[in-house]
Structure formats: C-alpha cells, structure tokens
Amino acid sequence: MRLILCWLAACLLAVAAEPPIVRTEVWANLPAQRVGPNDLLGVRVYDGPEFSQTVRVGADGLIHVPMIKRRIKVEGLYPGEVESAIAEALREEGLLVDPFVTVTIAEYHSRPINVAGAVKMPLVFQAEGPTTLLEAISRAQGLRTDAGREILVSRSQPGPDGQPVVLTRRISVRALIDQADPALNLRLTGGEEIRIPELSRIFVVGNVKKSGAYPVQDDGDTTVLQMIALAEGLAPYANKQAYVYRREGLAKKEIDIPLQKIMRRQVPDVTLAANDILYIPDNKGRRVSLNALEKILLFGSTAGATALTYGLVR
C-alpha cells in the first residue's frame, strides 16, 4: 500500500512540474496579407461540405457563401478574421452550432506591385506576403547599366477629402545598394509602383570624332570640355563657336558657347544640363582654304607644300 501511495505522489509531482500547454491560433497560409477586392478565397467548413467552395471577393469587398442569406464583408480582414466572420454568420442563421471554418488565399489580385523603367525585366506581381524593395528589384532581374541614380516608389492613399493621393518617395541607388542602408529597403505590401528612370543624357553632334548621346554618370556638374572628351575630341574643321540647345518648358533656348576661348582657358568652362544638345558646327572658311591648298599641292610645287603645312599647323 505504501508503494502505491509513493507512486501516486510521484505522478502528481511530475504532472505539476510540466509547463502548461498554450494553444495558439495558426492560420493555414501564413504569412498572409489582408484580403482585398478580387482576391480568390478557399472556404472549407468541416462537417458542412455544402458550405465549402472557392469564392471571389467582389469589388465591394463582400463574399457570398452558399446557403448564407447575407453577404459577408471581408475586405481588410486577415484570413483568420474571415474564418471568424463566416463562422459567426453560420451560427447566427442557425445553420451550424459550432462551425469549424478554414480560409486560405488561393490567389491575390488586390496587391499588385509594378516594377518599371530601367530594369532588365519589367513586371507586375502580387505581394502574397510582405516584401522589400530589393526583393522587388530582384524579381525584375536587377537594374540595367543605364539606370539612373534614384528609385521612385509611389503609392496611392486616401487624402483628407477622401480622394486618392499619390505619395512618391525618392530612394538613392547608391545608398540602397552600395551602402546597404536598411532604412531605405522599404517594406512593400502591395499597391506600390516602382520606377527606375534612365540616366540623364547629353547629346553631342557636329564636328566631333564620335557624335552620340552620353549618360551623365556622376553627381557633379557636366561641362562642355567633359562632353568633348567623351566624344573623343574635335574633328579637324571644328568651328571656334559652339551652341547649346536647351528646352525650358515648351520653349527652346540657344546658348552661344565661346569654344576657342574655353579651350585657351580665357573664360570658364560652361556647365551643361540633362538633355542639352551640344552642337559644334563646321568651320567652312577654313575647310575651303585647306581644300584650295591641297589642290596647289597636286602640282608638286615646293611653295604649295609649304603653304599647306603652314595652314595645317596654324
């Protein structure tokens, strides 16, 4: 008898020493976003297959479950909250006493994230769970080589008068990627538009060795001499005067550039702006003179050769 009592006492002590079991509610599809219009929900009711089906959330944020006379508002709810709302409706209408409901998100359609601009593969995807700005750019296969220095993240939200207002935040590419600033790796939940503009360009045409559109790579000022260097220098018949064509609103502006004085360091270099056109015209007078001297050279005269050499050196 004493052994039995000792054994019972030991069992009671062991049970008392065990930590209490804490039950937590676990949703079927964690992590999940709040439900929105056009999302597709899978509703399952145990011991009530007639209530189970896949339902689409309407544009008004309501769903209709079979045999429930009223529609249920689910927009803005998490899946677990939708389960509670459906179970409450079943109880209120006397259809089930203690319903056990599970809701899963079959498809999200209310949380698009649009990635556009200077990325390798622009795309739109649904934020099935909270994602980050870097993850969204990675889905677009990263930035192109001509990507600009800023990322624009826009999101629409209700304004004071109830009308939607678009808020845009500018994120530095260098701070986000090169410096890995975690504060700039924004958390996205859907509804955002991510745009990466291309690099600003300056166009160089006329008497240069390599005309073209050249991106502005650095954060400093871009000058006339820098653009001529990118264009591999002046051609032989370049004029002493150059011109910059700049758009200011709907108007176009022509700016005279004293090219020869700049190259002789007699006046400061001129700063250019994004989308400027730098035009270096032809020095027609010098071209005609040299052509004439070349014709004289064809006669084989020593004087003609000397004159041509003098003209080229000058």
Between strands 62-63 and 277-280, the pairing is unpaired
CA angle 164, 169, 171 (to 5 degrees): 160
pLDDT at 17 over 50: no
pLDDT at 143 over 80: yes
Those residues whose C-beta lies under 8 Å from the C-beta of residue 283, and which sit 6 or more positions away, are 207, 237, 238, 239, 240
pLDDT, tens digit (0-9, with 9 covering 90-100), for 161-211? 777 888 999 999 989 988 889 999 999 989 999 999 988 889 999 999 999
Q: Domain 40-107, what fold?
A: wza like fold (3.30.1950)
What does the pLDDT read at residue 172?
Answer: 92
Determine the Cα–Cα distance for residues 215 and 300; give it in Å rounded to an integer: 48
**Share above pLDDT 70 across residues of the chain, in percent, rounded to a whole number:** 79
Among 199-203, 277-281, 302-306, the least confident range: 302-306
pLDDT at 18 over 50: no
Higher-confidence position of 220 and 202: 202
Q: Which residue has 């020869």 as its token pair? A: 260
pLDDT at 25 over 60: no
**So where are the chain's domains?**
40-107, 112-196, 201-282
What does the pLDDT read at residue 32?
Answer: 67
The CATH number for 112-196, chosen from 2.40.50.1070, 3.10.560.10, 3.40.470.10, 1.10.10.10, is 3.10.560.10
pTM, two decimals, is: 0.63
Sheet holding 40-46, edge to edge: 53-56, 40-46, 100-107
pLDDT, tens digit (0-9, with 9 covering 90-100), for 44-91? 999 888 999 999 999 999 999 988 989 999 999 999 999 999 999 999
What does the pLDDT read at residue 237?
Answer: 82
What does the pLDDT read at residue 5?
Answer: 52
The CATH number for 201-282, chosen from 2.40.128.110, 3.10.560.10, 3.40.50.2300, 3.40.50.300, is 3.10.560.10
pLDDT at 296 over 90: no
Instruction: Check for a shared fold between 40-107 and 201-282.
Output: no
CA 148 to chain centroid: 11
pLDDT, tens digit (0-9, with 9 covering 90-100), for 98-139? 999 999 998 889 899 999 999 999 999 998 888 999 999 999
pLDDT at 96 over 50: yes
Determine the Cα–Cα distance for residues 251 and 247; give it in Å rounded to an integer: 6
